[in-house]
Amino acid sequence: MEIIKSIEKLRKVLWEHRKAGKSIGFVPTMGYLHEGHLNLVRQARKDNDIVVVSIFVNPTQFGEGEDFDSYPRDLERDASLCEKEGVDYIFAPDTHEMYPDGAPLVYVDVLKLSDHLCGRFRPGHFRGVLTVVAKLFNIVMPDRAYFGKKDIQQLRIIMQMVKDLNFPIEIVPVETTREPDGLAMSSRNTYLSPEERAVAPRIYESLKEGFQIIKDGERDATKVVEHILEKLEAIPGARPQYVQIVSWDDMQPVKELKDGIYVLATAVFLGPARLIDNIRFKIEGGDVDVY
């Protein structure tokens, strides 16, 4: 495995593999890897000849007062984990390499899909995400790129960017990786105190209760949301930011659940950590299933 910090060098190395007819799988991350990231890597390793993992804490996707400076970083640890999983290259540029002129003058933006869920509360976040992902796609030029379903709005928006801007890349979604008690794995889980960590699984439990209500026949989205909010507000120290049910197609909130694909999602502050989770599901006739 090789760690590369130069865009020019990575392009040259990958060009040789591409000329040899080898497929390239790409896993973009902000580092401080956990089992969720490693599951993305494992899927990429199964599907491709060459696997590239990027590790870059992207400043353009952090808003004022967010945790850019305190976001956990440990390249040596990440490199050890990647090497064990058979990663071929880590791309670990510094901020100057990615943004040599400071903040870029050109961004990739998104309409409508970012109006709700996390996008409502993090203005500019998805503009920063799309811009850095587009840059990384142009640098790595992968055949496939791997994203977790935990960041469901990010996944949906990146899929739309690839479609609308004609990137010749297959986006491969990978299921959310969870701790044994159900908590979605996240680098920000390190912010939790022991007491906060003990109650954090109740976030997903609350979503599952809401999903069960839908399975039992409830089609009024407002009633489902109210039930989940009540459960979340009962978690010691929890401060729910939102609970919403949105259509998968356009990420817009719905009032009545009909046949279609939906996302039941929440963001909850617990201590200093902002934790997100979701359940994507499909209604077809009388059947309701995770999708």
The phi-psi region of residue 51 (left if phi > 0; otherwise alpha if psi is between -120 and 50; otherwise beta) is: beta
User: 50, exposed or middle or buried, with CB in 10 Å at 0-12, 13-18, 19+?
Assistant: buried
Contact, 149 vs 175, CB < 8 A?
yes
**The one-letter amino acid at 104:** P
The β-bridge partners of 51 are 25
**Cα 154–Cα 159–Cα 160 angle in degrees, nearest 5:** 100
Amino acid (1-letter code) at residue 278: N
Helix (H, G, I), strand (E, B) or coil at 218: coil
- Under 8 Å between Cβ of 148 and 185: no
Catalytic-role residue among 17, 34, 37, 96: 37
Cβ–Cβ < 8 Å for 48, 25: yes
Tell me how far apart the alpha carbons of residues 135 and 211 are, in angstroms, rounded to a whole number.
37
Does the active-site annotation cover 37? yes
- Contact between 28 and 54 under an 8 Å Cβ cutoff? The reply is yes
Active-site positions read 37
